[in-house]
Amino acid sequence: MVCQKYRLCGLFLFVPQDRGGKVARDVEEIKVRMTNYWKQRVEQFSALRYKELQGEKHRQWLEEFQTLLPAPTGLDILDIGTGTGFFAFLLGAQGHQVTGIDLTEDMVMEARRVAQQLGIAAEFHVMDAEAPRFPPHCFDVIVTRNLTWTLPHLPKAYQAWHTLLKRGGVLVNFDGDYCRETPHMLPENHAHRALGDVLMAEYQQMKQTLRPMQQPRPQWDVELLHQAGFCEVAVDTGVWKRIYNQVDEFYNPTPMFLVRATKPENGAAG
């Protein structure tokens, strides 16, 4: 794959100081809290994603990607916030060269284990989504799912991802405005039903910490992507109902949106 050779370097984490010490501390702590949260969810999360990969959702996700990717096979794809590797496995099985990154080491170790079990030659690395350590212009496509709401520096993340894409490359981001989701009565079947009170409370607290750092989405994403240099930014709010058309164990009660953006063929090389 094009991006197999790269030099690992130190992570860069920008911590804003102009909004008071508490905000700066919250920003420093949120990634540690997020990593600890996901470390505790690895086993249950992996089992659910594996079941999703083997069932009807496999077909539904592939149908979505058929209209989003610039080619049906042979692309260099970076899956940011890969978790236990669902998108990496889905797309790797279609003949794409996929690399997955995640900040939680336990997730990456589980993704490697499942990749070996499935016989899919995807690569997985522990990396910060806001500062992926790859050379510029390395990937045809970047995909991500339910990640960007967790990033305290989303503008910088989009700028970094723009740099990683080749000219004409595509970003495909599935996410929800989780920090502004309203309280709702959950159905009996939903994706978080096995979370438990302690982890659910931590999830709610992390949303409260991140909320002041974000603006309403996906409107904010469109603005940030244009600022980062992307073009042809398109939003699809109907994807939620297509993927989660049944109230089952995969059901996500928070509306998911899709943002697809393209790095221009011409213009600055960054």
Whole-model pTM: value is: 0.88
Q: For residues 81 and 204, what is the distance between their CA atoms, to the nearest angstrom?
A: 20
Tell me the pLDDT tens digit for each residue of 29-86: 999 999 999 999 999 999 999 999 999 999 999 999 999 999 999 999 999 999 999 9
Q: For residues 103 and 117, what is the distance between their CA atoms, to the nearest angstrom?
A: 22
**Strands 256-262 and 231-236, bridge-based pairing:** antiparallel
Hey, what are 265's tokens? Answer: 């063929």
Give kind and range of the element (H or E) at residue 108.
helix 105-118
Which alpha helices (DSSP H) does the chain contain, by range? 21-39, 42-54, 56-66, 86-92, 105-118, 154-164, 197-210, 219-228, 239-243
Tell me the pLDDT tens digit for each residue of 219-258: 999 999 999 999 999 999 999 999 998 888 888 888 999 9
Q: For residues 206 and 126, what is the distance between their CA atoms, to the nearest angstrom?
A: 21
Hey, what are 36's tokens? Answer: 């600890």
97-122 mean pLDDT? 97
Domain boundaries, the chain: 21-262
Q: What is the pLDDT of residue 12?
A: 32
21-262: what CATH class? alpha beta
